[in-house]
Amino acid sequence: MSEVRHDWIKEDILAIYNRPLMELLYDAATIHRRHHDPNTVQVSTLLSIKTGGCPEDCGYCPQAARYHTEIEGNDLMTVSHVKAQALRAKASGSSRVCMGAAWRNVKDGPEFDQVLEMVRTINKLDMEVCCTLGMLTENQAKRLAEAGLYAYNHNLDTSEDYYKDVISTRAFQDRLDTIDNVRKSNVTVCSGGIIGMGEKLEDRAGMLVALASLNPQPESVPINALVAVEGTPMENMDPIPIWDMIRMVATTRIVMPETQVRLSAGRTQMSREGQAMCFFAGANSIFAGDKLLTTPNPDVNEDMEMFKLLGLNPQKPFTKISQPKTVEASESQFTSLDEKPKWSGPGHKIERNEDAKQKVKLTD
Ligand code: SF4
């Protein structure tokens, strides 16, 4: 029976988020192993193909024209420049290039044609291509699909309730509409959010309700920790504790078991130990490269060293996103876990065979 549920309510998700940490990690890791190879992590390279000058007012974003940040704006990159960057990303282990443009929405015309050409070019390199270009019509989604786009990123950012405190130039429903347009093509959906923007725990749960309610659920869900940039309205926000990130990743894994959970912005503020706990809790993707659009990110060599240390392998391109793993298949990690956790009605407490729990032990 599928573990994927679309009827989550905020209270259930909060109850999961607030579980004793070891219980939360155990349950998330168990579900993770059932659906994914726990030693494989997908690596994407994020490339800003058009930087700055955006008319929107997202409170976290240094690329909004109205904020006084130190971002240097750039016009749309050339196709050859994008190709060179993609080849470099591939050589350093990335299976996907995600191209971001600081636009409110995509406009038909020469610039969109240029992006379509970029998509075709990267596709020929046998890499997955993702774009994040703002709002999109159904027709534009179909044109991107024809060019070979693999995924479209459009984050919900936060809960519907908190959304207006973060962005005023568009509505939460606009985000859902774009995701809906992407779903009408055969492009996969990447949509997640940011924690640490002053939201309540209820908002984190509310965002997960909105994402998990999508049917199908997004193939990829990035979880970002706010990188507070000077000059933006959120410049004085304190960094979130690593425990919040671990809890958020684990909760996301439990409510969206088949999804690729992406450990995204904010990794420079996390220790390797913290990131390792996120991988254990179900994160199975990262962004590589020293910049995430405009904010700092760990150097790719550092990431590959971390992978080596943790015994993780980068995922090959075009690997089926959800690869069900039976518990038996993970026996090198767990022994004698013969009963799956069950979700039991309203409140959805995890029930597990206590004997089985006792028998679980980690091998070397
Ligand atoms: S997040 Fe995107 S839409 Fe919002 S201001 Fe930044 S570039 Fe513009």
Secondary structure (DSSP) of 56-89: ---TT-TTBTTS---PPPB-PPPHHHHHHHHHHH
Ligand 1 atom having least distance to the Cα of 54: 8
Q: Give the distance (Å) from ligand 1 centre to CA of residue 95.
A: 25
Mean pLDDT (whole number) for 232-239 = 93
Residue nearest to atom 4 of ligand 1 (CA): 58
How much of the chain exceeds pLDDT 90, in percent? 67
Whole-number pLDDT of residue 43? 87
Find, among 108, 145, 158, 103, the residue nearest to 293 by Cα.
103
- Above 90 in pLDDT, residue 277? yes
pLDDT, residue 325, reads: 42
**Structure confidence at residue 289 as a pLDDT band (50, 70, 90):** low
Measured at the CA of 355, the angle between CA 350 and CA 360, to 5 degrees, comes to 85
Average pLDDT estimate for 234-251: 96
Write the single-letter amino acid at 69.
T
Mean pLDDT for the stretch of residues 170-181: 96
46: nearest Cα among 231, 256, 196, 190:
190
CA of 39 to the centre of ligand 1 (A): 33
Per-residue pLDDT band for 346 (boundaries 50, 70, 90) equals: very low
Question: What would the pLDDT profile of 244-260 be if each residue is shown by its tens digit?
Answer: 999 999 999 999 999 99
- Alpha carbon of residue 274 to chain centroid: 17
Positions at the binding site: 54, 58, 61, 98, 130, 190, 262
Measure Cα distances from 25 to 28, 247, 279, 280, 287 in Å: 5, 8, 10, 7, 23
Distance (Å) from CA 171 to ligand 1 centroid:
13
Binding site as annotated, residues for [2Fe-2S] cluster: 98, 130, 190, 262
138-147 and 172-183 are packed helices; what angle lies between their axes, rounded to 10 degrees? 40
Of 311, 340, 348, residue with least CA distance to 33: 340
pLDDT of residue 349: 39
Query: 337 near 33, Cβ under 8 Å?
Result: no
Is the predicted pLDDT of residue 348 greater than 70, yes or no? no
Structure tokens at 200: 């309540």
Dihedral over alpha carbons 23, 26, 261, 318 (to 10 degrees) = -170
CATH assignment, 10-314? 3.20.20.70
pLDDT of 317: 74
Domain residue spans of the chain: 10-314, 331-361
Residues with C-beta less than 6 Å from any ligand 1 atom: 54, 56, 58, 61, 63-64, 102, 134
269 — pLDDT class (breaks 50, 70, 90): confident
CA dist 58 → 32, 123, 165, 169 (Å): 32, 31, 9, 8
Cis amide bond preceding 241, omega within 30: no
Tens-digit pLDDT profile for residues 38-66: 999 988 888 999 999 889 999 999 989 88
- Do residues 202 and 191 make contact, with C-beta atoms less than 8 angstroms apart? no
Q: Is the pLDDT of residue 336 over 60?
A: no
Q: Which atom of ligand 1 lies at the shortest distance from residue 104's CA?
A: 3
Locate tokens 């606009």: which residue? 174
pLDDT at 343: 40
- The average confidence (pLDDT) of the chain is 85
| Binding-site residue positions for [4Fe-4S] cluster | 54, 58, 61
Give me the pLDDT at residue 265, please. 82
Catalytic residue numbers, as ranges: 54, 58, 61, 98, 130, 190, 262
